[in-house]
Structure 1
Amino acid sequence: MNITVFCSAYSLDDRYSAPAAEFARLLGTGGHTLVWGGSNAGLMGLLADQVKAAGGKLVGIQVELLKHKTYPGADELVLTRDLAERKAQLLARADAIVVLVGGLGTLDEITEVLELKKHGLHDKPVVLLDTEGFYTGMRVQLERMDAEGFLPRPLDQLIAFAETPAEVFTHLTTA
C-alpha cells in the first residue's frame, strides 16, 4: 500500500518522535511505501530513516522551494512547482492517508484532504494518529461539526482516529 503521511518537518520531543518512529517501522516491515513531503528534516527525516531501515520504499514529493532539504535516500523523488501541486501529488499517489503530529502545513494538508473527501473527490482511508492528545481539539471540533449538521457525510466516513501506531494499521486494513 502507498501510504501518504502528513507530519512535521521539525525535530520534536521523544513523546512525539517515538510513536512516529514506531509507526514508520510498522509501515516498512509491512512492505508498504511511504509517500511523504520528501524532507530530511525533523519528523519527516526520522520517518524516512525508519521506513528505509525496516525495508519499506520511499517516494518523496518535494516542493522546489525546499529542495535543499530533500531526503537523499528516496527511491523516487518528485519535485513540484508549489505547495498546491505537492498536495495534489501526495493525494494522487496515496492508497491511504495518515496524519501524525504537525504544524500549520499538516493542518492545511489534512483539511484539504477532508474537504475533497467530503465532496466525494476521493474515498481513500484517512487516519489521524492522536499522539499524546495532540489533536483532541481538532477531534472535538470535527465531532461538533458532525453533530450540528455541517458535514454532508458522517464523520466516521471521513476520518478515523487512532491512539497507537498499531491501531492506525488496524483502521487501514479494515477500511
Structure 2
Amino acid sequence: MHITVYCGASLGNQPEYQQATIAMGQWIAQKQHTLVYGGGKIGLMGLLADTVLSHGGRVIGIMPTFLQAREPIHTGCTELMVVDSMAERKANMLKLADACIALPGGAGTLEEIAEVYSWARIGKNPHPCILFNKNGFYDPLKALYQRMVETGFLTEDAFQKLLFSEDFAEIEQFIADYQPPEFRHY
C-alpha cells in the first residue's frame, strides 16, 4: 500500500510531534507500505523519510523544481520525481496514494489534506483521509468540521469519512473499511 503523508518542512517546537513522525515512519516500514511524500530532507518530511528508509522501507519523494532552491531535496529516496509545479506534485502524490495522512504541520499541510478530503466529496479522491491527531493537534479543525455539520454545510456522513486519530490499529481499520462518499448532487 502507498501511504501519502503530508507534513511540515519544519520540525516544530514540541518533541512529541517528532516522536509521532518517527512512529509513523516505523509503522509504514514495518507494514511494508511505501511512503509517498513531498521529497524534502528537512523538518518532519526529512525525519519521516529517514525513519522509513532506516527501517528498510520504500520512499517516493515528489519535489517541484522551484522548491529545490529553497529546501534540500532528499537524495536517499527509493524513487524521486522532480515536477514543474505544486499542482503537479499534489496530483502525483494523490495518484500514487492508497491512503492520505496528515501529520502535524503548517498551512501547507492543512491545505493539502483539506484539498484531498474535499475532492473525495466530489468524486476526485477515492482514498481515505486521516489527520494524525497527536496530543489533539487537529482538535480545533475537528471542531470546525463539526460546526460545519451543525450549521448544514457538511453532512454527518461526509464528516465520518475523515478520521482524527493517533492510534495505528484504528487507522488501519479505517483504511480497510473505507468506502468513498457518494457523489454530492445539487
Q: Give the TM-score category using the shorter length.
A: over 0.9
Partner of 1:173: 176
The CA distance in 2 between the partners of 1:7 and 1:113, in whole Å, is 14
Partner of 2:181: none
The CA distance in 2 between the partners of 1:43 and 1:31, in whole Å, is 20
Alignment deviations for residues 75-123 of structure 1 (CA, whole Å, 9 cap, x no partner)? 1111111111111111111011011000011011011111111111122
**1:77 and 2:67 correspond:** no
1:87 pairs, out of 85, 90, 94, with 90
2:158 pairs, out of 154, 160, 164, with 154
Query: Identity over aligned residues, as a percent?
Result: 37
Q: How many residues align?
A: 174
Q: Provide the secondary structure at the position in 2 that maps to 1:138.
A: helix
The structure having more radius of gyration, on CA atoms, is: 2
Partner of 1:135: 138
Kindly tell me: are residues 54 and 174 of structure 1, through their superposed partners in 2, closer, same or farther at Cα, counting changes over 3 Å?
farther
The CA distance in 2 between the partners of 1:169 and 1:46, in whole Å, is 22
Q: Which amino acid aligns with 1:46?
A: L
Partner of 1:36: 37
Q: CA deviation at 1:166?
A: 4.6
Q: Which amino acid aligns with 1:2?
A: H
The CA distance in 2 between the partners of 1:100 and 1:86, in whole Å, is 18
TM-score, with structure 2 as normaliser: 0.88
Q: Which moved more, 1:132-141 or 1:64-73?
A: 64-73
Instruction: Name structure 2 gaps, 5 residues minimum.
Output: 179-186
Partner of 2:148: 145
